[in-house]
Amino acid sequence: MSTLSPDLALPDLGLAVAPAAVGGNGEVRDYLALLKPRVMSLVVFTALVGMLVVHPAVNPIIAGSALLMIAVGAGASGCLNMWWDADIDAVMTRTRTRPIPAGRIHPDEALSIGLALSVGSVLALGLIANWLAAALLAGTIAFYVVVYSIGLKRWTDQNIVIGGLAGALPPVVADAAVTGRVGTESLVLCAVIFLWTPPHFWALALVKSSDYARAGIPMMPNVRGPDATRTRILLYTLVLVPFALLPVPLGFGGWLYGGVSLLAGAGMLALAVKVFAVRAGEEAGRVAMQLFGFSILYLFLLFAALLAEHGLGLFRAVPFL
């Protein structure tokens, strides 16, 4: 623990600053944790696929740099989210070891880092790629921080439905970065992630509802009850699975994507039905966590299939209708 020298009574300020409140004393990994690296990796992955689907022959240096700036922008919004949500992170078991509630990083540091990285990533993306992509990245950061974190999260049970748009936009930003426009392909990928978000998060919320209740977050199971949540999970999955097949008739999903989407979609649907049917006991929680885990695999498989088709040259068009 640091100590103040006897001379540092700060007479001109009239107060003594406790060393812990000064900040700037975390480890490098604490600062990296502020950027939510797991979310960043998902953003990079979906953005990469968004790029390759629309422009397989993109310059690797420009593409890689643009991807890096999109990832930094995502990290910046995660950092600002942690700054804003430090109070509720402290009371939730899942989040209380994060650097701010654990006292390893001062909230003001997180705010400064988040703002600096937001501005830096947007400006750099504008210079590296184009200003449409930069504007979309700025909009995504603002949406996640202002609309979702500050606005929706503590206010409505539709928080992750609307807020999910922020997590769905990276393929659109990536598309704009390499083509200078926003095309149908990236919008469809955006919609797939958007529709995937509610069943994914509500499956977790079913299990962690007491955690969310303690933090005062109006998640669907806390507001409408677990049964209404199960119904909504099933309804969203019923829309998501056929919608995720859309790349095939639109011509940018081939045999591989179609097959993966059908099989994984069937698994997703089966688990959503199981969550709908099993409503009591430990089994209900276990099934909900199965759906939560499988939903991550489902989205990964969809995008990995597109990556294989457009990045590895495995695309074989399905002669459709």
Partner 1 sequence: MAEPSGPYLRLSAAEQKRRRSRSIAIALALAFMVLLFYAVTIAKLGPQILNRPL
Query: For binding to partner 1 (CB under 8 A), which residues are involved?
Result: 1-5, 7-8, 10, 19, 22, 24-28, 31, 59, 61-62, 65, 68, 127-128
Residue type for position 125: L
Query: Smallest distance, Å, CB 124 to partner 1?
Result: 8
What DSSP line would sit under 46-86, residue for residue? Answer: HHHHHHHHH-TT--HHHHHHHHHHHHHHHHHHHHHHHHHTH
Give the count of alpha carbons within 13 A of 305, CB side only. 24
Q: How many residues does the chain have?
A: 321
Cβ proximity to partner 1, 25 vs 184, nearer residue: 25
Query: Which of the 8 DSSP states describes residue 321?
Result: -
Cβ proximity to partner 1, 19 vs 242, nearer residue: 19
Query: Smallest distance, Å, CB 32 to partner 1?
Result: 9
Cβ proximity to partner 1, 19 vs 103, nearer residue: 19
Closest CA to 230 of 150, 186, 190, 288: 288
Query: Smallest distance, Å, CB 309 to partner 1?
Result: 26
Cβ proximity to partner 1, 22 vs 239, nearer residue: 22
- Angstrom CA distances, 276 to 215, 237, 268, 270, 285, stand at 26, 11, 12, 10, 12
Going through 79-222 in order, the beta strands assigned E by DSSP cover none
Query: Contacts by 281-287 with C-beta closer than 8 Å and gap 24+?
Result: 284/206, 284/226, 285/206, 285/207
Task: Give kind and range of the element (H or E) at residue 151.
Answer: none
Cβ proximity to partner 1, 14 vs 24, nearer residue: 24
| Gyration radius from the chain CA atoms | 22
Query: Smallest distance, Å, CB 277 to partner 1?
Result: 50
Query: Smallest distance, Å, CB 181 to partner 1?
Result: 19
Cβ proximity to partner 1, 16 vs 91, nearer residue: 16
Query: Smallest distance, Å, CB 83 to partner 1?
Result: 18
